[in-house]
């Protein structure tokens, strides 16, 4: 793909798959309700003024951007000074256009950890800038979500981890007690009839190797395992 067409390539993915299905479903619902309305009117024309033809359910647009080419371009710049990469990025994608501004500001710059504290919770990033100003790949660049989940599940084995006064410990779910306090802030599982408060029991102390493996997990899956000590 030529450089001049790269910004247009990103935004030519059309709607997201679920969004296309939802839009089609809204049309199907409209046709069904219209047929039902016509059936009632055909049987009794006097109710035509009383019955309102149902409006189609509104479905907002959600587009599926083709981000692969843009991410591959950044990956090809790894090992180069970030200042030069940023200058070429701005030169290639004209931010004065809607397509260019969307690609650069909403995607490509968000993939790079530039030390912005406001974006600290967005990590981990696909790309980082080392202390020498060189663009590098992030620790989880290219890792599939399923593989990261398998690594986390293999470590946790259905347990939760917490830092206690005696160090890091593994906890297992011992059962559920009924909770009637609607203002309770503890971990709950939603149920059709009632809410439950999970009870945890200490299993054993965490080994040093397990502690290091926990720190190396993707932050999303690490947050699923670590909890406040009960």
Query: Between residues 1 and 168, which one has the greater pLDDT?
Result: 168
Instruction: Pick the range with the lowest mean pLDDT from 7-16, 63-72, 109-118, 151-160.
Output: 7-16
Reported as a single tens digit per residue, the pLDDT across 70-92 is 888 889 999 999 999 999 888 87
| Model pLDDT, residue 35 | 84
Q: In what order do the strands lie in the sheet with 167-179?
A: 160-164, 167-179, 195-205, 188-190
Q: What is the pTM of this model?
A: 0.53
- At residue 169, does pLDDT exceed 60? yes
Q: Which helix (H) or strand (E) holds 205?
A: strand 195-205
Instruction: Pick the range with the lowest mean pLDDT from 62-66, 100-104, 106-110, 177-181.
Output: 177-181
Where do we find the tokens 């501004």?
Answer: 101
Q: Two tokens at 111?
A: 């993939």
- At residue 188, does pLDDT exceed 60? no
How far apart are the C-alpha atoms of 185 and 208, rounded to whole Å? Answer: 31
- At residue 142, does pLDDT exceed 90? no
| Model pLDDT, residue 182 | 61
Query: Between residues 42 and 206, which one has the greater pLDDT?
Result: 206
How far apart are the C-alpha atoms of 75 and 138, rounded to whole Å? Answer: 10
User: Domain segments of the chain: what residues?
Assistant: 3-9+63-137, 145-225
- pLDDT confidence band for 1 (50 / 70 / 90): very low
């Amino acid at each position: 793909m030529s450089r001049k067409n790269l910004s247009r390539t990103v935004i030519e993915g059309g709607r997201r798959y679920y969004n296309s299905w939802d839009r089609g479903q809204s049309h199907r619902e409209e046709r069904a309700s219209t047929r039902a309305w016509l059936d009632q009117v055909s049987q009794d024309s006097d109710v035509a003024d009383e019955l309102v033809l149902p409006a189609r359910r509104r479905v907002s647009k959600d587009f599926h951007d083709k981000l692969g080419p843009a991410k591959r371009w950044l990956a090809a710049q790894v090992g180069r000074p970030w200042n030069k990469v940023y200058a070429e990025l701005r030169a290639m994608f004209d931010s004065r256009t809607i397509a260019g501004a969307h690609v650069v500001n909403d995607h490509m710059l968000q993939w790079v950890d530039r030390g912005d504290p406001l974006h600290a919770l967005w990590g981990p990033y696909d790309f980082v800038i080392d202390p020498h100003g060189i663009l590098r790949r992030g620790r989880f660049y290219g890792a599939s979500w399923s593989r990261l989940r398998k690594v986390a599940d293999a470590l946790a084995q259905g347990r939760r981890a917490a830092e206690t006064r005696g160090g890091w410990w593994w906890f297992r779910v011992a059962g559920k007690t009924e909770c009637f306090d609607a203002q309770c802030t503890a971990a709950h599982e939603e149920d059709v009839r009632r809410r439950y408060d999970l009870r945890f029991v200490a299993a054993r102390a965490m080994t040093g190797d397990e502690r290091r493996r926990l720190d190396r997990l993707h932050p999303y899956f690490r947050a699923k395992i670590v909890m406040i000590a009960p």
